[in-house]
């Protein structure tokens, strides 16, 4: 592997001195969340140096060398050991402020998930602090790093926080505990991120200056695929075809408003602190952003791209992006978009989606089902469907995500048992997630940091549809069945519970509609099935015309002198132009300012990095 240093940059300015990554006080010698395996040119080299598959000199223990994991509810002496006495893990966490799924009397650190961990493994999670939205959480993590007061465990919102904490000598060296105590299932998932231990991107991503400092987030490819969601029942009642282009989507939005379906606005938007598009550092899971619209204009904002001559350019400062922002500004001026985009807090942007008065929003697959469960509880006939948004030339563009964007950081002051407990809790989440009652949102699971195989959603889509069509049976996907695989961790339970939610009359010959489902029976599984079989249907069944990768997905050494200024300029200007606070006539000046205030230097840093 190349030995490069990735600079520490934070969304919030932080005044923390840089130091070597801590690895001497962790005491890990005896200790014990789908993945994108694709990379663009040069990105596989963006590590911090060293053979990260042997970060402390010990070779990677391959999944094939391990026995099968214990079944849910059972233990083994490696990955699912129960401590003799209770081990407390103190953590900070971001909690969805509009999530009302906890039963009365439960709390962030006293719920079905925390009780499960304590009863079965003697692991007690104690929440030292929580934050209700992204910006508040980022600020609390920043302050915890700046004041050297990290709890035992906390999720780094982006890799920049990880690098900052590591170089401030705050993190444990987790290599031995992760390598020795991760379950076979976790190891299989890690191994989907490269072809050999030397290039497992999950390991590379979580390594800073030769030290493996965190549990990596490994997410499904489709987390970065942006589509739009629309009330199909409203389209049908109005006699409208499914929109394919942005002009057709605009026409549908107008019809929804004119006919009284969406009296306030037809298209939802971002909360305060959200982004209207993903960028190279946060390339997935941008709910309620407008990524699908940008892609329909052949724009890829927030990515480092190469032109036909091989020159690096910034995807935001392009003519295509200007056209897309102009379209959004027009929609906003017409009242089609939530007038409070970028202003609402605590999830209020989703209220009209939930109460059935907003009929269009954009996001990745999980936004449907998982992301809007109250829509169906409030109206069991709300027939939300998912579709690609094409260019006027009929092409479907998607920008491809990084392997994962978050990291479970563990304090170097955490004891050996605490470090081991965090690894075991992660093993339990990966193995047992599908067995929980997910009517209580899985987001309440402490330190939940997703790990899943890259093609998990598409594999499940095909498997579940084959059951629906009578081509296979649920038993074939259970342990001992000829189609069983532990890599797709939720499939066995999904296959077994499919008939509880999907009507036996549905034969798979048409797209799944909400009327083909029992919304209220096993509601947690309904949310999952609707996300998989409707939300992921476009990516599972349609080949995109263009998959676009950023040339790098992390900030590079030297960018810190420029990034905050140009990033703030960009975020503020794009939102102001959409909402009419700035004229589109100022576009050229914005681009010139971006380049002059540090953009040119950043592009040169990327150019030099890729040339090495």
Summarize pLDDT for 394-442 with one digit per residue, the tens.
Answer: 999 999 999 888 999 999 999 999 999 999 999 999 999 888 887 888 8
* CA separation for the pair 606, 51 (Å, rounded): 23
Stretch 344-362: mean pLDDT? 86
- CA dihedral sign of residues 413, 418, 419, 423: negative
Could you tell me which residue, 387 or 282, shows the higher pLDDT? 387
pTM: 0.80
Q: How far, CA to CA in Å, does 344 sit from each of 133, 189, 268, 274?
A: 11, 37, 11, 10
Total H helices, total E strands in the chain: 20, 14
Question: According to the model, what pLDDT value does residue 19 have?
Answer: 29
Rounded-to-integer distance, Cα 309 and Cα 173, Å: 43
What residues contact 472, with CB distance under 8 A and at least 6 apart? 463, 466, 483
Q: How far is it, in rounded angstroms, from Cα 204 to Cα 217?
A: 12
536 and 458 in contact (C-beta within 8 Å)? yes
pLDDT of amino acid 417:
97
Residue range 29-78, pLDDT digits in tens: 222 223 333 333 333 333 343 334 555 558 999 999 998 888 888 888 88
Q: Mean pLDDT across the chain, nearest whole number? A: 88
Order across the sheet with 227-231: list the strands.
360-363, 227-231, 384-387
pLDDT at site 76? 83
Say what percent of the chain tops pLDDT 70. 90
Cβ neighbours for 119, distance < 8 A, ≥ 6 positions apart = none
Q: What is the pLDDT of residue 462?
A: 98
> Which pLDDT score is estimated for 280?
92
Is it the case that residue 471 has pLDDT exceeding 90?
Answer: yes
Higher pLDDT, 361 or 97: 361
Give the model's pLDDT for residue 20. 30
User: Which two tokens mark 298?
Assistant: 């052949």
The whole-number pLDDT of residue 21 equals 33
Q: Give whole-number Cα distances, 35 to 162, 220, 455, 595, in Å.
A: 19, 5, 8, 34
Average confidence (pLDDT) over 257-285: 91
In the predicted model, is pLDDT for residue 445 greater than 90?
Answer: yes
Checking if the pLDDT of 149 tops 60, the result is yes
Residue 362's pLDDT is 96
How many residues comprise the chain? Answer: 612
Tokens of 275: 């982004």
The predicted structure's pLDDT at residue 55: 55
pLDDT, tens digit, 9 for 90 and up, residues 172-202: 999 999 999 999 999 999 998 888 888 898 9
The answer on pLDDT for 4 being more than 60 is: no
Average pLDDT over residues 307-332: 97
pLDDT at 159 > cutoff 70: yes
Tell me phi and psi for residue 221, to 5 degrees.
-50, -40
Which domains can be identified in the chain, with CATH numbers?
43-217+406-444 (3.40.190.10), 223-396+548-554 (3.40.190.10), 456-543 (no CATH)
**CB 377, CB 306: distance < 8 Å:** no
Which pLDDT band, with edges at 50, 70 and 90, does 587 fall under?
very high
Residue whose token pair is 């009507």: 503
pLDDT > 90: percent of the chain = 73
Report the sign of the C-alpha dihedral through residues 41, 47, 49, 54, in that order: negative
Give the three-class secondary structure for 569.
Answer: helix
Phi then psi dihedrals of residue 176, to 5 deg = -65, -45
**Cα atoms in the 13 Å half-sphere on the side-chain side of 444:** 25
pLDDT at 47: 38
Q: What is the pLDDT of residue 569?
A: 96
Q: Hey, what's the torsion of the CAs at 203, 207, 212, 216, to 10 degrees?
A: -50
DSSP per residue, 235-282: HHHHTPPPP-SHHHHHHHHHHHHHTTSSSS-SB--PPTT--SS--SSS
Which pLDDT score, from 0 to 100, does residue 386 have? Answer: 98
Q: Are strands 211-212 and 153-156 parallel, antiparallel or unpaired?
A: unpaired
Give the residues across from 214 on adjacent strands. 409
CB–CB of 170/412 below 8 Å?
A: yes
* pLDDT of 16 strictly over 60: no
Can you give the pLDDT at residue 56?
Answer: 56
Tokens of 276: 């209207």
pLDDT at position 52: 43
| Model pLDDT, residue 54 | 55
What Å distances lie between residue 118 and 386, 409, 418, CA to CA? Answer: 39, 21, 13
**pLDDT level of residue 346 (50, 70, 90 thresholds):** low
pLDDT per residue as tens digits for the range 376-386: 999 999 999 99
Write the DSSP symbol of residue 579.
T
Between 165 and 612, name the one with better pLDDT: 165
Q: pLDDT tens, 537-566?
A: 999 999 999 999 999 988 888 998 899 999
């Amino acid at each position: 592997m190349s030995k490069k240093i990735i600079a520490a940059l934070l969304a919030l300015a932080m005044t923390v001195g840089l130091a070597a990554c801590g690895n001497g006080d962790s005491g890990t010698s005896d200790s014990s969340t789908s993945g994108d395996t694709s990379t663009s040119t040069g990105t596989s080299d963006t590590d911090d140096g060293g053979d990260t598959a042997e970060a402390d000199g010990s070779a990677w223990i391959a999944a094939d060398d391990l026995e099968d994991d214990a079944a849910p509810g059972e233990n083994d002496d490696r990955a699912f050991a129960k401590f003799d006495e209770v081990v407390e893990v103190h953590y900070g966490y971001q909690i969805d402020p509009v999530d009302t799924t906890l039963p009365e009397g439960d709390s962030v650190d006293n719920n079905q998930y925390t009780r499960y961990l304590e009863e079965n493994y003697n692991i007690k999670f104690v929440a030292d602090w929580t934050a209700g939205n992204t910006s508040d959480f980022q600020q609390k993590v920043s302050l915890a790093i700046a004041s050297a007061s990290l709890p035992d465990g906390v999720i780094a919102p982006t890799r920049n926080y990880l690098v900052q904490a590591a170089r401030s000598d705050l993190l444990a060296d987790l290599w031995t505990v992760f390598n020795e105590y991760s379950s076979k299932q976790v190891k299989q998932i890690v191994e989907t991120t490269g072809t050999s231990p030397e290039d497992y991107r999950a390991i590379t991503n979580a390594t800073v200056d030769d030290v493996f400092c965190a549990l990596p987030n490994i997410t499904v490819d489709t987390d970065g695929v942006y589509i739009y969601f629309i009330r199909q029942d409203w389209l049908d009642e109005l006699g409208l075809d499914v929109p394919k282009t942005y002009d057709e989507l605009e026409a549908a939005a107008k019809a929804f408003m004119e006919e009284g379906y969406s009296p306030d606005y037809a298209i939802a938007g971002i909360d305060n602190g959200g982004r209207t598009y993903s960028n190279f550092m946060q390339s997935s899971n941008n709910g309620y952003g407008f990524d699908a619209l940008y892609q329909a204009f052949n724009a890829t904002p927030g990515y480092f791209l190469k032109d036909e001559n091989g020159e690096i350019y910034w995807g935001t400062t392009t003519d295509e992006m200007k056209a897309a922002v102009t379209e959004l500004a027009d929609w906003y001026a017409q009242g089609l978009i939530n007038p409070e985009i970028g202003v609402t807090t605590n999830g209020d942007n989703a209220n009209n989606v939930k109460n059935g008065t907003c009929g269009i929003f954009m996001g990745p697959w999980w936004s449907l089902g998982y992301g809007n469960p109250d829509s169906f509880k409030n109206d069991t006939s709300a027939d939300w469907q998912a579709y690609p948004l094409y260019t006027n030339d009929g092409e479907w563009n998607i920008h491809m995500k990084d392997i994962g964007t978050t990291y479970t950081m563990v304090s170097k002051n955490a004891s050996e048992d605490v470090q081991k407990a965090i690894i075991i809790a992660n093993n339990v989440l990966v193995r047992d997630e599908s067995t929980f009652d997910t009517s209580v949102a899985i987001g309440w699971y402490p330190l939940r940091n997703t790990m899943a195989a890259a093609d998990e959603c598409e594999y499940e889509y095909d498997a579940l549809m084959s059951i629906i069509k009578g081509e296979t049976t649920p038993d074939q996907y259970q342990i001992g069945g000829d189609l069983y695989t532990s890599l797709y961790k939720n499939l066995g339970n999904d296959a077994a519970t499919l008939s509880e939610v999907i009507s036996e009359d549905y034969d798979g010959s048409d797209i799944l509609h909400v009327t083909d489902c029992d919304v209220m029976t096993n509601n947690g599984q309904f949310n999952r099935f609707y996300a998989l079989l409707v939300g992921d249907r476009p990516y599972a069944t349609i080949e995109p015309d263009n998959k676009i990768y950023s040339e790098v997905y992390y900030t590079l050494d030297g960018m810190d002198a420029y990034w905050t200024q140009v990033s703030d300029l960009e975020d503020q200007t794009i939102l102001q132009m959409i909402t009419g606070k700035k004229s589109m006539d100022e576009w050229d000046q914005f681009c010139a300012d971006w380049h002059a205030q540090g953009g040119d230097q950043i592009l040169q840093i990327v150019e030099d990095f890729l040339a090495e």
